[in-house]
Structure 1
Amino acid sequence: MRFEHLIEINDPLNPLAEILSREQVWSGLMHRVDEPTLFLPGLDRCVILSRAGGQIERELYFGTARIRDTVTLQDHEWVRFESAANAEHAGGKLIIRLEEPEAMRLYLRFTYETTLPEGMAPGDVMQVSGFVKAAYRESDVDTVRIIRMIATTGRPQ
């Protein structure tokens, strides 16, 4: 399953929304890499196994489930999270791109690629993919909310 959507960071038509710089948004994304427990409900802890150049190897612990992932990044452009399938996790890929089509108009583009369980009836696939997409969208809205808190206060709350 592939799912992609945009979230606008700076809306010049909304005077109540604080304008964030590209640097502030990128800093928030780096918090998601280094401190994912702030962004992923149910994640108990994250262990950084290695860091070399633009690549980070991590182990994520969700209760008894352990997921190993690789984070690759292009500074101030995109970050990619990839995990291999195992008995506890279907595996998948998430790419978050920072887009700025014009000055101070910032967007985050979230692109997911994941598998769904095999052998499902077509109607079930549509229903499950709808739930998964809604969960991804909600998680991404929360990511932006946390990035805004970090930018405003210097720390998540």
Structure 2
Amino acid sequence: MRFEHLIQINEEGNPLAIALTADQLWQGLVHRARSPQDFMEQVESVRILHQEDGYFEREMLLGRLRVVDHVTLTPGRRVHYDTQPSDEHGGGSLTLTIEEPQPGALFLRVVYETPLTQTPGMGEQDDGYYIDYVKAAYRQNDIDTVRRIRQLAHAGLLG
């Protein structure tokens, strides 16, 4: 399954939204990659297995689930996660790209690529509901990520 959506970061005319700079958004995305437990309460531990310039491999434990991600950083622009498949997890990828079509007009493009297709034992109609549910969960997680980045920025933790 491929799922792509766009989140508007700065909303002109909305006094309730904490505006972010491109650098703050970038720092927030890197923080999410290096410290996912600050964004997802179910993460019990994180360990960096390997690190190079612009790349690292991390292991996350979520209860009994072990997830290994290969994370590639394109400074100021993109974070790409390539998740290894395992017996418990199908793997896939996630790409978060900062877009700024004009100064101050920030967007976050989110692209998921997963092996999710048809679920054994379910009919096409059930599959449609399931896939819609997964997409809604992904979208909400991404909105929560941006909300958390705003909190970190407001607290002065993102420059």
TM-score (norm 1): 0.94
Instruction: Please give the per-residue CA displacement for 1:29-64, whole angstroms capped at 9, x wherever unaligned.
Output: 111011001112311111011110111100010111
Q: Which of 125, 128, 131 is 2:127 aligned to?
A: 125
Name the residue aligned to 1:98: 98
Q: Specify the SS of the correspondent of 1:139.
A: helix
Question: How many residue pairs were aligned?
Answer: 156
Paired with 2:43 and 2:130, the residues of 1 have a C-alpha distance of 22
Structure 2, gaps ≥5 residues long: none
Name the residue aligned to 1:138: 140
The verdict on how the C-alpha distance between 1:127 and 1:41 changes in structure 2, with shifts beyond 3 A counting, is farther
Q: Specify the SS of the correspondent of 1:18.
A: coil
Q: Specify the SS of the correspondent of 1:6.
A: strand
Q: Which moved more, 1:72-81 or 1:7-16?
A: 7-16
The verdict on how the C-alpha distance between 1:27 and 1:50 changes in structure 2, with shifts beyond 3 A counting, is same
TM-score (norm 2): 0.92
Name the residue aligned to 2:65: 65
**Percent of aligned positions that are identical:** 43
Q: Which moved more, 1:89-98 or 1:6-15?
A: 6-15
Moved over 6 A (4+): none
Shift of 1:118: 4.7
Shift of 1:125: 1.7
Q: Which moved more, 1:134-143 or 1:122-131?
A: 122-131
Name the residue aligned to 1:85: 85
For residue 38 of structure 1, what is the amino acid of its counterpart?
D
CA RMSD of aligned residues (A): 1.5
